[in-house]
Structure 1
Amino acid sequence: MNGREVLAAVRADEVLKAIPVVVFTTSAVDADVLGSYSAHANAYVTKPINLDAFERVVGEIHRFYSEIAALPLPGAV
């Protein structure tokens, strides 16, 4: 199963569909960005090549979804 298939399965599942999905990929191709958002990804992030930048971006994504964003309670959606 590739990432797009996983995203489609998550969005089709009543229990999982409210989980934020961040597409984290090496691709910066416009068609991939559009395809991900069309499939209801919450964010699309191109992986940095540099390890320090990679760790910083992962930390920022984690911080956003764990400390900043308000997420629905499990089962609320």
Structure 2
Amino acid sequence: MSPPINDAITILLIEPNPGDARLFSESFADANVASEIHAAADGETALDFVYQRNEHADSPRPDMILLDFRLPDVDGADILSELKAEPALRSIPVIVMTSSASEADIARSYDLHANAYVRKPIEPDEFVELGRSFEDFWLTFVRFPADRTCSSY
């Protein structure tokens, strides 16, 4: 079962563009999405956050990950593959959010077990609509196991 709707969920946003990261965070706030958003600008920082190591040893485990495939160091597809291969992490929904409309990128995302593939908004109003859409679907309708560390599915 998912957390009660009034509880904030922890989202890790893996986004190299600081402007897009800011727009995304602001759009969730504008849409009144109960979330705590942590941003990582590169793959190494994201992996440190997820594995709770180095300067992120006290970071919370994310309830959801929004992943841009185009990162400056570690390829987003490699991060997705690693997350879905790790039993303790594979239950975290990973939504690939990128500007690419490439059919190859879409197919690769799902081959690597992404939970969804979303085109990144262009206009600020589209970011707010995306935030509302995430709340409507991922936070209202989708159900997760009570034990989020479960690796049996």
TM above 0.5, yes or no, is: yes
SS in 1 for 2:118: strand
* Counterpart code for 1:2: D
TM-score (norm 2): 0.47
Task: Show the counterpart of 1:74.
Answer: 148
Aligned to 2:132: 59
Task: Give how far 1:63 is off.
Answer: 3.7
Deviations 1:38-58 (A, max 9, x none): 000000000121111122113
Greater RCO between the two (CA within 8 Å, min separation 6)?
A: 1
Alpha-carbon displacement from aligned partner over 1:52-74 (angstroms, at most 9, x marks no partner): 11221133124422221011231
Q: Give the root-mean-square deviation of aligned CA atoms.
A: 1.3
Aligned residues: 77
1:43 and 2:139 equivalent?
no
1:33 and 1:58 mapped to 2: Cα distance? 21
Q: Which residue of 1 aligns with 2:96?
A: 23
Identity %: 36
Displacement of 1:76 after TM fit? 2.2
> Out of 69, 84, 103, which is 1:11 matched to?
84
Higher-Rg member (1/2): 2
Would you tell me which structure has more strand in proportion to its own residues? 2
Give me the whole-angstrom Cα distance separating, in 2, the residues matched to 1:58 and 1:6.
23
Structure 1 residues not aligned, in runs of 5+: none
